[in-house]
Amino acid sequence: MKRLPEPELMEDHAQVKAYAKADFEIPHYQFIERLKLFINKPQFSGTALDLGCGPGDISCRFAKAFPLSKVHAVDGSEAMIDYCKLSTSRELKTRIRFILGMLPDVILPQSGYEIIFCNSLLHHLHDPQGLWQVIKKYSRQGTRVVVMDLLRPDCLESAQKLVKTYALDEPEILKRDFYYSLLAAYTLPEIKKQLTQAGLNFFVEQISDRHVFITGIAP
Ligand SMILES: C[S@@+](CC[C@H](N)C(=O)[O-])C[C@H]1O[C@@H](n2cnc3c(N)ncnc32)[C@H](O)[C@@H]1O
């Protein structure tokens, strides 16, 4: 099935609220568990970079999983960054800095990060190299990179089936966003091609009926 791009930013307030309130417990929990296994450094005390942080759930989960860490969390949507600032506890806000910025042009406070992670951003990007180039720009030698995203199903019926399976009880706006995100997602071969083009020798693995998990160490 041909890819159908969706708007890059999530700026509509109703959309932001629906996304923030949605039940992502299982995929977000699994994201952090897999990331912890890959990083293998419970005492990590540096600064990590979260690209396309949305309402900040993954940024907060990371900060809790690594209590000595700091996080720079970036999103191009003002509505998302405002939501993060309002909803994150005062304690976590001492360690998480929410930054309004658009990939790939964003200028970040540090020139390099030890850990870079990103969930559900890639499928939003009209030019996927935007993500891989930012990762390359802000990596140092040995930076651990973890990216999770949706995979595009092979037909519209499969996409509809995934929405029914995983978002049946969610509001209509979320079901619609999930459906269009599936249609906008990249396939495994497309992601592998993007990485080859970017010169990144990362490991790409399908981990569920709708998710791809990508890990790598910057050269
Ligand atoms: C589906 S949400 C994922 C949010 C979060 N990472 C999570 O897993 O809950 C994707 C986010 O990426 C942001 N985004 C999309 N394109 C972007 C770009 N070019 N630069 C910065 N943020 C972008 C959107 O505004 C949205 O908040």
Is a pLDDT exceeding 90 seen at residue 219?
no
Ligand 1 atom 19: residue of nearest CA? 103
Choose one of 6, 9, 13 to mutate for the ligand 1 pocket test, by most ligand atoms within 8 angstroms of C-beta.
Answer: 9
Res 145: pLDDT: 98
Q: Which atom of ligand 1 is nearest to the CA of 10?
A: 25
Quickly list DSSP for the chain.
Answer: -------S----HHHHHHHHHS--HHHHHHHHHHHHHHH--TT--SEEEEES-TTSHHHHHHHHHSTT-EEEEEES-HHHHHHHHHHS-HHHHTTEEEEE--TTT---SSS-EEEEEEES-GGG-SSTHHHHHHHHHTEEEEEEEEEEEEB--SSHHHHHHHHHHHHTTS-HHHHHHHHHHHHHPBPHHHHHHHHHHHT---EEEE-SSSEEEEEEE--
Domain boundaries, the chain: 13-217
Summarize pLDDT for 126-168 with one digit per residue, the tens.
999 999 999 999 999 999 999 999 999 999 999 999 999 999 9
Task: Report the separation in Å between the CA atom of 90 and the middle of ligand 1, taken as the mean of its atom positions.
Answer: 23
- Please determine, looking at this structure, whether the domain spanning 13-217 carries the CATH number 1.20.1250.20: no
Ligand 1 atom 16: residue of nearest CA? 8
Task: Report the separation in Å between the CA atom of 128 and the middle of ligand 1, taken as the mean of its atom positions.
Answer: 13
Q: Which atom of ligand 1 is nearest to the CA of 102?
A: 20
Is a pLDDT exceeding 90 seen at residue 28?
yes
Summarize pLDDT for 159-206 with one digit per residue, the tens.
999 999 999 989 999 999 999 999 999 999 999 999 999 999 999 999
Res 192: pLDDT: 98
Res 118: pLDDT: 98
Residues touching ligand 1 (Cβ under 6 Å) are: 8-10, 52-54, 57-58, 75-77, 80, 102-103, 119-121, 124-125
Is a pLDDT exceeding 90 seen at residue 37?
yes
Task: Report the separation in Å between the CA atom of 111 and the middle of ligand 1, taken as the mean of its atom positions.
Answer: 21
Ligand 1 atom 13: residue of nearest CA? 52
Is a pLDDT exceeding 90 seen at residue 11?
yes
